[in-house]
Amino acid sequence: MFKVKYYFDESTLTFKRVRLVKKQKIKRIISFLFITGITAIFINILLSNYYTTPKLSKLTNNRYELITKYDLLQDKLSDVNTALKEIQHRDDYLYRTIFELEPVSSSIRLAGFGGSNRYIELEDFENSGIMIETSKQIDAITNQLVVQSKSFDVVIEYAKNKELMLACIPAIQPVAIKDFDRISDYFGQRSDPFNNQPTMHYGMDFTGPEGSEVFVTGDGVVVEAGHSLFGYGNRITIDHGFGYKTVYAHLQEIDVVPGQKIKRGEVIGKLGNTGRSTGNHLHYEVRMYDKPIDPINYYFNDITADEYDQMILALSKRRIPMD
């Protein structure tokens, strides 16, 4: 391991072998091991940085290929998400508008998944960030597709029943008038006739002689027919299906009973002055999923476009609250 060294002995005039003591030997062995270790570490670092084995080279290439595929997948997911948003927009503002359905709320469309540790199995990897983000995008798109599928199921059901729906939607005036000055009050804010306080009027009021016929405005089923304790007086409520209901209030006479099926244009009662009312009139409401909406847009089977304009003009000129 070490070279043999000699020294010249002047007293004997001969060369003698150098004999190391035990301490010197240990020192030399430690020095040798230290230098050898440092050299090995240096060579390992050099080979790791500048040279690679075929196996390591293959693993490195697979890693970069996988990252590239994840990047491409994210680009495709972005394109899918854009296309999905276009479908959702058409659903909310075209298909659902045709059937007068409310748009699907963003809180439902974008509802997330439960569980804070849903992606815990993807953590602690070298590229866990891109893996988790991609998984989140896939889950979000999957959830939105499920919601969209259910929305289309509703639209398809309405489309199948379009003819029935057209017969059921309120589409005529509840009293036979062409003189729109007989419409005393409209949908919207106004002064209450009893206390002059600003209040919301949820329907339209039609004046006329006591006992004038009141017509149902669409096919449906009578769900209420009797005296109301909430100011409506004698009231009839019709369920037309498809989310629609109509209310006829302050009647002098009720000619139908709960559960009775009726057709558009049939007489259901007589105009009167019962309940919280200042004179003979019919208070008429249209409700969509139990939310009052403006009845003025639901006379399309009964009046022309010019007559509709006349009604709007009359609205702008006068309002005489009666309930």
The confidence score (pLDDT) of residue 52 equals 63
148-205 confidence digits (pLDDT tens): 999 898 888 888 888 888 899 999 999 987 666 688 899 989 888 888 899 999 999 9
Quick one: tokens of 220? 């449906």
Residue 278's SS3 state is coil
Nearest-CA neighbor of 20 among 33, 32, 10, 7? 7
- Whether the per-residue pLDDT at 68 is higher than 90: the answer is no
DSSP 259: T
The confidence score (pLDDT) of residue 69 equals 78
Question: What is the band of 142 on the pLDDT scale with cuts at 50, 70, 90?
Answer: confident
The confidence score (pLDDT) of residue 33 equals 82
- Whether the per-residue pLDDT at 2 is higher than 60: the answer is no
Residues 295-301 have a mean pLDDT of 88
- Whether the per-residue pLDDT at 79 is higher than 60: the answer is yes
Nearest-CA neighbor of 109 among 65, 165, 149? 149
| Percent with pLDDT over 90 in the chain | 32
195-235 confidence digits (pLDDT tens): 889 999 999 999 989 999 999 999 999 999 999 988 999 99
The confidence score (pLDDT) of residue 275 equals 93
Half-sphere exposure of 248 (CA within 13 A, CB side): 31
Lowest mean pLDDT among 131-135, 203-207, 228-232, 298-302: 131-135
What is the 3-state composition of the chain as percent helix, strand, coil, each rounded to the nearest 5? 45, 20, 35
Residue type, 280: N
Nearest-CA neighbor of 57 among 69, 47, 43, 45? 47
Higher pLDDT, 235 or 77: 235
Residues 105-121 have a mean pLDDT of 73
Q: b/e for 267-301, b at 16 or more Cβ within 10 A?
A: ebbbbbbbbbbeebbbbbbbbbeeebbebbebbee
Lowest mean pLDDT among 20-29, 111-120, 225-234, 304-313: 111-120
188 sits in which H/E element: strand 188-191
Quick one: tokens of 21? 């003591």
DSSP for 61-99, please give it.
HHHHHHHHHHHHHHHHHHHHHHHHHHHHHHIIIIIHHHT
- Whether the per-residue pLDDT at 270 is higher than 80: the answer is yes
The confidence score (pLDDT) of residue 18 equals 66
271 sits in which H/E element: strand 267-271
pTM recorded for the entire structure: 0.60
The confidence score (pLDDT) of residue 283 equals 96
The confidence score (pLDDT) of residue 138 equals 86
Computed over every residue of the chain, the mean pLDDT equals 84
The confidence score (pLDDT) of residue 46 equals 67
**Residue position matching structure tokens 């929305």:** 151
